[in-house]
């Protein structure tokens, strides 16, 4: 492919939106005649709303829309929820809704928050005597705490703030490497900005006081801060969700229920022991989690990173969900780290995020953790249920049918005819194309 040579641009962020679009067209989209129309057609008709979107990131040109759907009938701890979900994958919302309906008549979902602690680290170099560093750290802790009092004043009023500081020796894995591990509670806020501000203030005071510490001066070596940042690995901020019922209630007959339960548990065991299966297994869990995270304006990338690290916490990558049959009872559960917020960030800015929280009956952070964990569990139940019964493609391709029809620019009548035909025929791109061509020829 012959690529057009473009020159570097300076001051791009200072151009207005029209100028940025014009530059993009001239340098990269000359062969796309409708590029300007396409970009501007996704602008919001309300200038105020569009202005809000423009300010979320730098160099905004337009908006990129994803479907906003809802999965109803989630009974969680005795309360009935409808879950807002933002995702493009065809079968995710349908699968979530089906799982919710299945468990609605079997007691619903139970969920509990195990802990809510978050953390961050000040990473630094030190090549002197460890005892000198330990003595200094112990003596300077009151000063480090004092350095963030102005930052955590309001957080403390809401029951949060810094919990503890700990000096950690990392020299076994990296020469001269130490860290100050800081533990936090952040209430209903995800707390990233708060934690990072605290860490940077502590780091600055740590280096400042080290400059005059006698032991460091006599050794002619000082601690040197490399970086200060929160961690998205939050195994102490954890939630559990589960479903359970008699195995006989899982099928139309008792034997069918027992057979299903046994195959289901075996499928989970495979995902716990085989990494290639575990990755796809957990991806399905994240279909439900990410969709709800996006709808509520939380950081799905942070959640993804932390959850997958947790899945590998034992030295190998494994299933996030677990299942067992005990005394005739089938139990299926998930336990995972989720650092979420219901205040701050997009939660107070994006109109659709506000709407999503209203749909969820305005949960606090702990309640949102429970709801999100349930979404992941439900998604996984639906997927594994399909895999051990009809297979995943039957339901998925039925949902994908509309995407194929839209690619073929099918009319309303053609779509109706295709939906009726493929109700009992196998869906594939080739089969749908052949059907539409035949329908058009006969017409």
For residue 368, the cross-strand partners are none
Active-site residue identified among 15, 53, 89, 414: 89
pLDDT for 103: 98
Active site residue 424: no
Q: Are strands 177-185 and 224-230 parallel, antiparallel or unpaired?
A: unpaired
Report in angstroms the alpha-carbon separations of 154 from 148, 346, 365.
Answer: 11, 20, 17
Measured distance CA(230)–CA(146) in Å, rounded = 20
pLDDT along the chain (443 residues), means of 10: 75 95 94 95 92 92 96 98 95 96 97 98 97 96 97 94 98 98 96 96 98 90 97 98 97 94 98 98 98 96 98 97 98 98 85 96 97 98 94 62 81 82 77 83 79
Q: Are strands 329-337 and 237-246 parallel, antiparallel or unpaired?
A: antiparallel
- pTM (whole model) above 0.75: yes
Instruction: For residue 327, count other CB atoms closer than 10 A to its CB.
Output: 6
Measured distance CA(367)–CA(181) in Å, rounded = 27
Phi, then psi, of 385 in degrees rounded to 5 = -60, -45
User: Can you point out the beta strands (E) in 18-130?
Assistant: 68-76, 79-86, 110-116, 118-125
Instruction: For residue 362, count other CB atoms closer than 10 A to its CB.
Output: 11
Active site residue 236: no
Instruction: For residue 154, count other CB atoms closer than 10 A to its CB.
Output: 11
pLDDT for 166: 98
Active-site residue identified among 118, 350, 396, 400: 396
Active-site residue identified among 209, 283, 398, 415: 283
User: Can you point out the beta strands (E) in 248-328?
Assistant: 321-326
pLDDT for 398: 62
Closest CA to 368 of 237, 245, 244, 230: 237
Measured distance CA(368)–CA(146) in Å, rounded = 33
Active site residue 134: no
Active site residue 53: no
Measured distance CA(241)–CA(77) in Å, rounded = 10
Measured distance CA(374)–CA(107) in Å, rounded = 14
Q: What is the DSSP letter of 142?
A: H
pLDDT for 374: 98
Active-site residue identified among 299, 350, 367, 400: 299
Closest CA to 208 of 131, 129, 121, 136: 136
Measured distance CA(409)–CA(30) in Å, rounded = 25
pLDDT for 180: 98
């Amino acid at each position: 492919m012959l690529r057009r040579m473009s020159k570097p641009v300076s001051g791009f962020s200072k151009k207005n939106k029209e100028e940025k679009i014009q530059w993009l067209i001239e340098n990269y989209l000359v062969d796309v005649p409708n590029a300007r129309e396409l970009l501007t057609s996704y602008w919001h008709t309300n200038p105020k709303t569009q202005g809000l979107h423009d300010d979320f990131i730098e160099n905004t040109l337009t908006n990129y829309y994803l479907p906003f759907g809802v999965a109803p009938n989630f009974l969680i701890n005795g309360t009935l929820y409808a879950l807002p979900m933002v995702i493009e994958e065809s079968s995710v919302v349908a699968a979530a809704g089906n799982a919710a309906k299945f468990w609605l008549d079997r007691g619903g979902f139970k969920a509990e928050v195990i802990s809510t602690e978050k953390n961050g680290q000040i990473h630094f170099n030190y090549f002197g005597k460890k005892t000198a560093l330990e003595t200094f750290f112990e003596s300077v802790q009151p000063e480090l705490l004092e350095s963030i009092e102005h930052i955590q004043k309001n957080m403390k009023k809401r029951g949060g703030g810094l919990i503890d500081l700990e000096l950690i020796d990392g020299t076994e894995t990296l020469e001269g490497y130490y860290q100050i591990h800081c533990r936090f509670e952040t209430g209903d806020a995800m707390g990233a900005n708060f934690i990072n501000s605290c860490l940077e203030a502590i780091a600055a005071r740590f280096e400042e006081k080290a400059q005059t510490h006698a032991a460091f001066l006599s050794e002619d070596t000082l601690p040197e801060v490399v970086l200060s940042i929160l961690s998205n690995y939050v195994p102490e901020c954890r939630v559990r969700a589960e479903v359970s019922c008699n195995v006989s209630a899982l099928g139309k007959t008792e034997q069918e229920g027992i057979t299903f339960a046994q195959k289901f548990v075996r499928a989970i065991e495979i995902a716990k022991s085989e990494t290639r299966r575990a990755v796809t297994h957990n991806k399905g869990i994240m279909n439900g989690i990410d969709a709800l995270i996006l709808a509520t304006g939380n950081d799905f990338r942070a959640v993804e990173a932390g959850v997958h690290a947790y899945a590998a916490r034992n030295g190998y990558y494994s299933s996030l969900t677990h299942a067992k049959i005990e005394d005739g009872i089938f139990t299926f559960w998930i336990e995972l780290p989720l650092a979420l917020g219901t205040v701050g960030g997009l939660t107070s800015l994006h109109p659709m995020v506000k709407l999503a929280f209203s749909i969820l009956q305005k949960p606090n952070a702990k309640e949102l953790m429970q709801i999100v964990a349930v979404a992941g569990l439900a998604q996984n139940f639906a997927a594994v249920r399909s895999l051990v019964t009809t297979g995943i493609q039957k339901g998925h391709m039925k949902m994908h049918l509309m995407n194929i029809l839209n690619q073929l620019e099918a009319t309303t009548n053609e779509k109706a005819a295709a939906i009726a035909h493929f109700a009992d025929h196998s869906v594939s791109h080739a089969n749908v194309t052949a059907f539409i061509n035949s329908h058009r020829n006969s017409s």
